[in-house]
Structures are given as C-alpha cells and as structure tokens.
Amino acid sequence: MAVFRIVNMGEDILREKAKCVAEITPNILKLLDNMADTLREAQGVGLAAPQIGVLKRVAIVHVGEDFIELINPEILEVKGEVRGVEGCLSVPGVQGEVVRGRYIRVRALDRTGAVQVYETEGLLARVFQHEIDHLDGVLFVDKASRLEKVET
Ligand code: ZN
C-alpha cells in the first residue's frame, strides 16, 4: 500500500475519459488500497483513480463511517436538485457552489465483482456525483458558481 501524489488541475489526465474495468485483477485491488491510503492521508471525502494518474473507472468515497469502493459506477436515477459547496483535492484552495442531484441511485461493482446498488442523498450523493464526474474528465469548477479561494 502506498500514498500517491494527487494530480492537479492543468494536467491532461484529469480531462480524459477513464476506461471501464474489464476484470477485477490483483492490480485493481492494489489500486483500491492505494487510493484509500492516499485519500486518508489527504483527509478528503472522495478520490477517483485519474486523480492518482490511473485512467480507470474506479472511485472511492469516504463520508462519515461510510467507506465505499466503486468500480465502473453508473448513475441510474437522479431526483431533485440541491446547491452546495464543493472543493476538490486536485484543485487545492478553491471552493465553489455546485448544483447536484438531491437523490441518486448508483450501480457499481465492489471489489469482489458483485453488483451493488446505492441509494444516496445529501453529502454522500454529492460526493458520488463529483467522483463519477472525474471518470468523465469533468471537474467541479466546470459546473461551479461563486468560485472563491480558501485557505488550505
Ligand atoms: Zn475532485
């Protein structure tokens, strides 16, 4: 397990579309473990594989007690809208307001290859949407209003 450098906005990989995981190999499990170490070290709430330089559809979310690993996540349903403040480990020192779905239903594989369906609301739903955007090369600043500098 290892802590990786987090890629910053301006580096090309953050703008590329990540590739689906065809098979859950030992390398994918290692990737998940490395992402968890990196996210803990950074004290963030979510991390997508492109943020550590790996162009695969893998993300992790760590909100409160929840620690969720998402492989090939897909948003199945979105209900309502809610505006909230976001930041990103790849865009240090910047916050902005982003409108996200209030409730979402997401399907993803877990590390055993089992299909999981998550129904989420609030902060958890926001983080899911933010991380899934990363897999499509989208950053929160693309959608944000009222961007402002904050101390890190
Ligand atoms: Zn981010």
Check 16, 131, 148, 151 and give the catalytic one.
Answer: 131
CA-nearest of 41, 45, 50 to 7 is 50
Q: Return the pLDDT at 87.
A: 97
Is 131 one of the catalytic residues?
yes
Residue with tokens 């693309």: 142
| pTM exceeding 0.85 | yes
Neighbours of ion ligand 1 (CB under 5 A): 88
Instruction: Please tell me the distance from the alpha carbon of residue 134 to that of residue 36, in angstroms, as a whole number.
Output: 16
- pLDDT (tens digit, 9 = 90+) per residue, 97-114? 999 999 999 999 999 999
- pLDDT (tens digit, 9 = 90+) per residue, 65-78? 889 999 999 999 99
Instruction: Please tell me the distance from the alpha carbon of residue 62 to that of residue 60, in angstroms, as a whole number.
Output: 7
Q: Return the pLDDT at 65.
A: 87
